[in-house]
Amino acid sequence: MTQALSVGITALGTYVPSKVVTNHDLAQLVETSDEWIVTRTGIRERHFSAEDEFASHMAIHATENMIAKHGSAVLDGVDLVILATSTPDALLPATAAIVQNHFKLKAGAFDVIAACPGWMYALSAAAAYVKSGMAKKVLTIGSDALSKILNWEDRGTLVLFGDGACAAIVEAVPEGYGFKSFVLGADGEGAKHLNMRCINTTLPDGSPLTEKVSMNGREVFKFAVRVMSSATREAVAQAGMRLEEIAYFVPHQANFRIIDAARSSLELPLDKVVSNVERYGNTSAASVGIAMREALDDGRIKDGDDLLLVSFGAGLSWASSVLRWHVKTF
Catalytic residues: 116, 252, 282
Residue 156 engages ligand ACO in binding (rule: CB under 6 A)? yes
Distance CA 313, CA 304 (A): 29
DSSP for 276-315 reads -HHHH-B-GGGHHHHHHHHHHHTT-S-TT-EEEEEEEETT
141 contributes a contact to ligand ACO by CB under 6 A: no
Q: How far is the CB of 31 from ligand ACO (least distance, A)?
A: 6
R_g of the chain, CA atoms, integer Å: 19
Residue of this chain nearest to ligand ACO (CB atom): 313
The smaller minimum CB distance to ligand ACO, of residues 81 and 150, is found at 150
| 3-state SS class at 250 | strand
Give dist(CA 284, CA 122) in Å, integer: 13
Q: Which is nearer to ligand ACO, 84 or 115 (CB)?
A: 115
Between 116 and 288, name the residue whose CB sits nearer to ligand ACO: 116
Q: Which of residues 232 and 255 has its CB atom nearest to ligand ACO in the complex? A: 255
Q: Does 17 bind ligand ACO (CB under 6 A)?
A: no
Out of 218, 244, 245, 270, name the contact with ligand ACO by CB under 6 A: 218
Binding test (CB under 6 A) with ligand ACO, winner from 282, 283, 320, 321: 282
Which one of 152-160, 166-174, 179-187, 260-268 is the stretch in contact with ligand ACO (CB under 6 A)?
152-160
Q: How many residues bind ligand ACO (CB under 6 A)?
A: 25
Find the angle CA(99)-CA(103)-CA(168) to the nearest 5 degrees.
65
254 binds ligand ACO (CB under 6 A): yes
Other Cβ atoms closer than 10 A to 54: 21
Strands 306-313 and 137-145, bridge-based pairing: unpaired
Cα-Cα-Cα-Cα dihedral of 259, 185, 221, 25, to 10°?
70
Distance in angstroms (rounded) separating the CA atoms of residues 145 and 98: 16
- Binding interface with ligand ACO (CB under 6 A): 32, 36-37, 40-41, 115-116, 155-156, 159-160, 194, 215, 217-218, 220-221, 224, 254-255, 258, 282, 284, 313-314
